[in-house]
Amino acid sequence: MGTPEQLEAGKAGAVKEFGTVSLSYGHSEILCLPIIGQIEGHIVLPSQNKTTKYEHVLPQLVAIEENPDTAGLLVLLNTVGGDVEAGLAIAELIRSMSKPTVSLVLGGGHSIGVPIAVAAKYSLITDTATMTVHPIRLAGTVLGVPQTYEYLEKMQDRVIRFVVNNSKISEEVFREIMFRTGELARDIGTILVGKEAVELGLIDGVGGLQEAVEKLKQMTDGTQDNETCGNAQPAPSAANHNDGQTHEPTPPDAPQETR
């Protein structure tokens, strides 16, 4: 275990290097994991970019799952999106965890941040936070051949399927807001603000840090079902939606956001 001084030094190092912190809760701990800036995948982004590196996040998620002293995971999102495959990898690990997980969208949970937000067993968004839903975009060299467009469509279907399977939004509504025109400059897609994401069934509820921590404590205490999302509002029909969600840019060999 180490001395108290060593434990404190380890916690300080985790905050400095990865932005993670453990919160004591009874005999266990709730771990806070931030997903911020741009999600970095196979291509290293410039040093001035604020990034979340998937090679840092994936091992942390495995350690959380295997640590008997960790009671649950709180994911804080303020991201513009990024690499599609890296984002999906993070989302899949969060979704497949057996421990209670709660996500909280702060500021923005755009593009590939959408699947990460809905991957938690319960998701929250603040009143002022936004989520942008848009089709996958390509960066870098693009070959003008049918196979390129087939690959792009398959990748887009992967994201749509994940979001639909892990939220209460229907595929028809999600596709409608993803391909809507006129709401984003030089692009197609939709921006959802706070409650709008909840009304569409994409996010489970509107709330902040207090609500997120309380929900996580309920789940760890066994007073809330771990396996179900708590959205009390049904997803409305496409005709009632004027807002939208996001997706990621991605080049065929290394899907990457082009925001």
Q: What is the tens place of the pLDDT at every residue in 101-156?
A: 999 999 999 999 999 999 999 999 999 999 999 998 877 777 888 888 888 899 99
* Residue 15: predicted pLDDT: 45
* Residue 128: predicted pLDDT: 95
Question: Looking at residues 228-257, what average pLDDT do you find?
Answer: 44
228 or 223, which is more confident? Answer: 223
* Residue 251: predicted pLDDT: 42
Model confidence at 4, pLDDT cuts 50, 70, 90, reads low
Coil, strand or helix at 119: helix
**What is the chain's length?**
259
**How far are the Cα atoms of 34, 50, 81, 86, 93 from residue 56, in angstroms, in the given order?**
11, 14, 16, 11, 13
* Residue 222: predicted pLDDT: 72
Model confidence at 2, pLDDT cuts 50, 70, 90, reads low
Q: Whole-number mean pLDDT of the chain?
A: 81
**In sequence order, which residues have a C-beta less than 8 Å from that of residue 205 and are 6 or more positions away?**
122, 123, 124, 125, 198, 211, 230, 231, 232
CA-CA distance, 153 to 175, in Å (whole number)?
A: 13
- Here the tokens at position 214 are 């309380």
Count CB-CB contacts under 10 A for residue 11: 13
pLDDT beyond 90 at 10: no
* Residue 248: predicted pLDDT: 46
pLDDT beyond 50 at 18: no
**DSSP alpha helix (H) spans, the chain:** 4-18, 54-66, 84-95, 113-119, 146-165, 171-178, 195-199, 209-221
CA-CA distance, 239 to 127, in Å (whole number)?
A: 23
Instruction: Report whether 216 contacts 76 (CB < 8 A).
Output: no
pLDDT beyond 90 at 28: no
CA-CA distance, 34 to 145, in Å (whole number)?
A: 39
Amino acid at 238: A
249 or 134, which is more confident? Answer: 134
* Residue 182: predicted pLDDT: 84
* Residue 130: predicted pLDDT: 95
CA-CA distance, 192 to 179, in Å (whole number)?
A: 14
* Residue 145: predicted pLDDT: 85
User: What's the N-to-C CA distance of the chain in angstroms?
Assistant: 44
**DSSP alpha helix (H) spans, 19-97:** 54-66, 84-95
4-240 folds as: 2-enoyl-CoA Hydratase; Chain A, domain 1 (3.90.226)
* Residue 27: predicted pLDDT: 52
Each domain of the chain, given as residue ranges in start order, spans: 4-240
* Residue 64: predicted pLDDT: 93
Model confidence at 94, pLDDT cuts 50, 70, 90, reads very high
Question: Looking at residues 52-71, what average pLDDT do you find?
Answer: 92
pLDDT tens, position by position, 43-59: 888 888 888 998 899 99
Enumerate the active-site residues: 111, 134
Question: Looking at residues 156-163, what average pLDDT do you find?
Answer: 95
235: phi then psi, degrees, rounded to nearest 5: -75, 130
* Residue 136: predicted pLDDT: 86
* Residue 221: predicted pLDDT: 82
